[in-house]
Structure 1
Amino acid sequence: MKIKTLLILLIFFPLVGCDRYTKDQAVSLLKGQEPLSFLNGFFSLTYHENTGGMLSLGAELSDEVRVILFTFLVGLVLVGGLIYMLVKPMDKYSFTVGLLILAGGFGNLYDRAVNDGRVVDFMLLQMGPLKTGVFNVADIAIMAGLFGFLFVSSKWGQRLRSS
């Protein structure tokens, strides 16, 4: 349990805090402003409030359905996932990728709870005609966790975990 506590202190809380801080900064510095572009337009800071899920999926649903789906049900899944991870024996690699996903999920859930069901997004990557959706630090943590899960589940990750 010591390693789990250490990983929670080093990964989960700092990520949730960083997500919260950057969203607060986005609100105070970017809301109502023109986007800021860097690296020849590759990276932009632009204020966006997302009422849906990833890539605004579900944004067109009614307020009641969005609250049930994106706040209540996601909250239950996140709390259940955290409890599962705390009680189930798992190696530090699996626990770490799970913490990344949960930290991102809790960061966005907190945002919905205090921001009338909306999540603040503010980063955008674009290369020519290709561009991402607008995202935030919590989304980066979730994606890092998903890629980490794919790696840990692969034959290379299995070798790492068995050594």
Structure 2
Amino acid sequence: MVKIPDSIKKFIDEQGIFVVGTIGETKFVNISPRIFFKVEEDAIYWLDFFEHKSFKNIQVNPYVTISVFNKNDLEGYQFKGSASYITDEPTKSEIRDSVIENILKTNLSPKTKSLSEKEAHVIQFEPQVCYSLNPEEYSDMSIGSDIDSTSLFCD
């Protein structure tokens, strides 16, 4: 798996949001924003409070794309990898509590507070390849990969 450099971890945290892309049985891409997350060196965790499209898609197809972008600086990153659900306790509770504690430090909206009180699935994303989304850079060349990105998701 790709190690996420501190500078990119900081970038994701500063944006406070990223988008998750999934594909399920319909073959249509679903994207959804995530604000309840935690970035570590070798994984990104997020909370799923609903059992909607992303939840169902990951059960069918664990391959996921995450994208984060700063529109002012035209800087961003895209990660491709696989997602799984953390089900073992106490790991699930520890990650969930950590994510919620972190988001409530910076986001005090009533909706965020209300969501944080709900049960949530904990998703672990393990990046296999990372691309720059900066327009000046080659976006089709990975900046970090543990696989041959030209064969990614091919059978």
TM-score by length of 1: 0.25
Query: Hey, which of these two has a bigger chunk of strand by percent?
Result: 2
Query: Hey, which of these two has a bigger chunk of helix by percent?
Result: 1
Give the structure, 1 or 2, with the largest relative contact order (CA under 8 Å, sep 6 or more). Answer: 1
TM-score by length of 2: 0.26
